[in-house]
Chain A
């Protein structure tokens, strides 16, 4: 008989449980918990799994709409894309593990998000990732960028999902905590979505996929704490990914689901077997009994505690229709994966864990799941930003050159060329500029994907910054002609126990909620990552918005390239807002002033104008950080055609006013757009033309080829 450690104050603290939380455990079970039970409580009640600091505010987000089939609470959100088809998607962070072990941290982040999608019966068809790193010159940055990008690519490329978009940013506030936010979307028939709620008493609980090892024990608890100088000791809490197994698990699950054997299914993610078993039981109003000796194990002499808390990857738990056991088992034999009955559903409200006949945990299941602490953390409103001090004028080409030589605004080819963007042969628009677009296989419908946030804005003004992240995503979708459908949010913040950090969180949620309501793109899934702090230094508040849109027919895609002779038009008014701009940060090393104001009604008006007039638009880009100058350059550069803008003043070229688009079209189309804009009450301005081999802003100019060479090499020069 194995002996478990004694419960001591140190042991409780090392499980991330506060003395109050431990008291609560004593009240719930009326006795001292066993070591395994303590581990189970710690797994269920950590911030990562319980959302205890954020729940109160997440409830305020708009999550409904006629397009929503399943909102937050399942493995991923599900929306209706017409013709009996559904899109299943979510974004999730893997920040802490990626900082400790960049390759495996990022790889298993991809693995986790892909499983969330295919657990629900969908085949993954698109991925994106939003990455934030410290100062390019910081000693850890290069290693992190290289490891994370290779990890994302290594996993996604082997699995076989195209990566069609994403973002990469650098800021010293991420020196001690990088962010890795992975997005995945999958297609399913709308009437064949699989959920996690167990049903039926005495139904077999089946373990699927890879074997359980000791990797990742305590991972979710690690991810719910700040970092300090003991970070190296946390390396064993990072899991190891195997994309080949994940690919087989996905194919096997697709076949399994077709057999009709699946009553409910849940992937084993954070807190592994514990979380998945409890979640299935709780949602179905049932108890669960597990026999751990039946769990497929990769290592010898694993204890109950280790098996319950392991975060070994590529595993699933399902409740099986026992009549179809043979058919289900045959699928897993075909794919050389484990299939083991490890327990059963029971009528009592009980989570009973046995190991070789010995009771290791015996807890009230519904209470365990439903009684996680929930905090109304104190918060203070972020004070209004100081007014912007004078910004000196700058030669417009010098300003552009400074932006495109900074890794933040340089071309990201070095990153996205390490990702397979075209596997599945339905990619219509590859990464590089704006939203990625794929075709729904076998149809003429297209889906567009984008991921956006400007953390500087959120820090200066959480509410406007939250709104802006959604508005930019909305604009990126409109820019390819897509109707925005729904959103997933990945909310990355510092320590929520600090009222000013909690204030950032609350402000951002308010802004996001307002924007998704106004722009009709409800939040259907998401993830919260708190405690992104090291030695008390928090990250920039980074609520990443992942959004999806639809284009009903490929003919309605705005996907063309700029050509020589095209007119350049700006839709939306420019006032020259330079507060918190890219130009200030990169050229003047200043982060002052307020974030730009977002007028959601104007966003909607201008966005609908773009979509309604797509036949008149050859190419389109939203105007965001870097303003008109950067957008015009990027459109010119990708097409290999010069651009000449009439103006050369700093606020007009580099201001970051919202609700704006840069459009390229021929002369006749421009005339028609002016007429349409007049009728719609939309502001429209002719700002120059595309053509030649120079980039000119007023009198200042430089050869496109020279600027393009800088743009294409600056990223790799800085961090590769």
Chain B
């Protein structure tokens, strides 16, 4: 399994994500945002957390127009896997690979804490390592994680079983407590919580590890 981690100048969870993917058995290449092509034979692209271009305007808006992002969109169009975490999720909504938008937290403050998370579907290669209804404890750290979708989109996401995770005790005002959503083909996942921060015992929890393990296994066994 070959994974590319995209690096924007303000990415700051790029190494963390690479470590988590490598731990699960992936071979990882870091790809600079000014590149316009991905390395060959990439199975999966990960877009890390951080502040891609400072995010002084709308989070992820400038990153969505970076040269490499066109290659990411093309990869997704071919049915490739894309995982966006935190700022990566914001970038994915800005590119249109995932629907909805992420707004300023309802409390208006940045919040970093360990969050109770519910697994809403196991029907994806990202979530098949969990069981539906399982409760996870995964950290969040964001200022703009308030997921917004109109009634029609919300009904569609629910109807198509595309809500991957919801929050217990909603920390940011997200509609329907949504913490992560899947694309129509279930190959693109965006989520605000940071599974890469809970993958080994030193972190005090390993609740994030099954996500990376399941994804690597899905590619390897495909």
The residue from A158, A245, A419 contacting B112, defined by CB atoms under 8 A apart: A419
Across the interface, do A244 and B111 meet the contact criterion of CB distance under 8 Å?
no
Q: Mark B62-97, 1 if CB is under 8 A from A, else 0.
A: 000000000000000000000000000000000000
The residue from A418, A425, A428 contacting B109, defined by CB atoms under 8 A apart: A418
Across the interface, do B53 and A244 meet the contact criterion of CB distance under 8 Å?
yes
Across the interface, do B51 and A424 meet the contact criterion of CB distance under 8 Å?
no
User: CA of A334 to CA of B53 in the docked complex: distance in angstroms?
Assistant: 14
B39 at interface, CB cutoff 8 A: no
The residue from B13, B53, B199, B204 contacting A428, defined by CB atoms under 8 A apart: B204
* Contact A153-B110, Cβ < 8 Å, known A244-B51, A428-B202: yes
A428 cross-chain contacts in B, Cβ below 8 A: 202-204
A439 cross-chain contacts in B, Cβ below 8 A: 202
B25 at interface, CB cutoff 8 A: no
B16 cross-chain contacts in A, Cβ below 8 A: 423-425
B196 at interface, CB cutoff 8 A: yes
Select from chain A the residue with minimum beta-carbon distance to B196.
A425
Select from chain B the residue with minimum beta-carbon distance to A442.
B19
B32 cross-chain contacts in A, Cβ below 8 A: 334
Across the interface, do B56 and A423 meet the contact criterion of CB distance under 8 Å?
no
B13 cross-chain contacts in A, Cβ below 8 A: 160, 423, 425
The residue from A247, A413, A421 contacting B12, defined by CB atoms under 8 A apart: A247
A413 cross-chain contacts in B, Cβ below 8 A: 113
User: CA of A636 to CA of B202 in the docked complex: distance in angstroms?
Assistant: 22
Q: How many A-B residue pairs have CB under 8 A?
A: 88
Select from chain A the residue with minimum beta-carbon distance to B114.
A430
Across the interface, do A420 and B56 meet the contact criterion of CB distance under 8 Å?
no
A554 at interface, CB cutoff 8 A: yes
A427-477: which residues lie under 8 A (CB-CB) from chain B?
A: 427-428, 439
Across the interface, do B202 and A335 meet the contact criterion of CB distance under 8 Å?
no
Across the interface, do B197 and A422 meet the contact criterion of CB distance under 8 Å?
yes
B168 at interface, CB cutoff 8 A: no
Chain B CB count within 10 A is highest, among A158, A245, A425, A427, for A425
B54 cross-chain contacts in A, Cβ below 8 A: 158, 242-245
Q: How far is the CB of B21 from chain A (nearest CB, A)?
A: 12
A248 cross-chain contacts in B, Cβ below 8 A: 9-10
The residue from B9, B12, B53, B111 contacting A423, defined by CB atoms under 8 A apart: B12
The residue from B15, B49, B51, B141 contacting A243, defined by CB atoms under 8 A apart: B51
User: CA of A244 to CA of B139 in the docked complex: distance in angstroms?
Assistant: 23
A158 cross-chain contacts in B, Cβ below 8 A: 10, 12, 50-51, 54-55
Across the interface, do A160 and B109 meet the contact criterion of CB distance under 8 Å?
no
B1-49: which residues lie under 8 A (CB-CB) from chain A?
A: 9-10, 12-13, 15-16, 19-20, 32, 34, 49
A713 at interface, CB cutoff 8 A: no
A189 at interface, CB cutoff 8 A: no
Across the interface, do A159 and B110 meet the contact criterion of CB distance under 8 Å?
no
User: CA of A58 to CA of B20 in the docked complex: distance in angstroms?
Assistant: 46
Across the interface, do A157 and B110 meet the contact criterion of CB distance under 8 Å?
yes
User: CA of A334 to CA of B19 in the docked complex: distance in angstroms?
Assistant: 24
A251 at interface, CB cutoff 8 A: yes
Across the interface, do A421 and B202 meet the contact criterion of CB distance under 8 Å?
no
B194 at interface, CB cutoff 8 A: yes
* Contact A422-B110, Cβ < 8 Å, known A158-B51, A243-B51: no
User: CA of A334 to CA of B9 in the docked complex: distance in angstroms?
Assistant: 10
Select from chain A the residue with minimum beta-carbon distance to B52.
A244
Q: How far is the CB of A244 from chain B (nearest CB, A)?
A: 3
B141 cross-chain contacts in A, Cβ below 8 A: 157, 420-423
User: CA of A645 to CA of B109 in the docked complex: distance in angstroms?
Assistant: 38
User: CA of A492 to CA of B32 in the docked complex: distance in angstroms?
Assistant: 44
Q: How far is the CB of B150 from chain A (nearest CB, A)?
A: 30
Across the interface, do A417 and B113 meet the contact criterion of CB distance under 8 Å?
yes
B19 cross-chain contacts in A, Cβ below 8 A: 425
Across the interface, do A247 and B110 meet the contact criterion of CB distance under 8 Å?
no
Shortest 5 CB-CB contacts between residues of A and residues of B: A160-B12, A244-B54, A425-B16, A158-B51, A420-B141
Cβ contacts A to B, 10 pairs, < 8 Å: A159-B12, A242-B54, A243-B51, A244-B51, A245-B54, A247-B10, A419-B110, A423-B12, A425-B13, A427-B197
Supplied contacts A157-B51, A247-B51, 9 more A-B pairs, CB within 8 Å: A158-B51, A243-B51, A244-B9, A244-B53, A244-B55, A413-B113, A423-B16, A425-B199, A428-B202
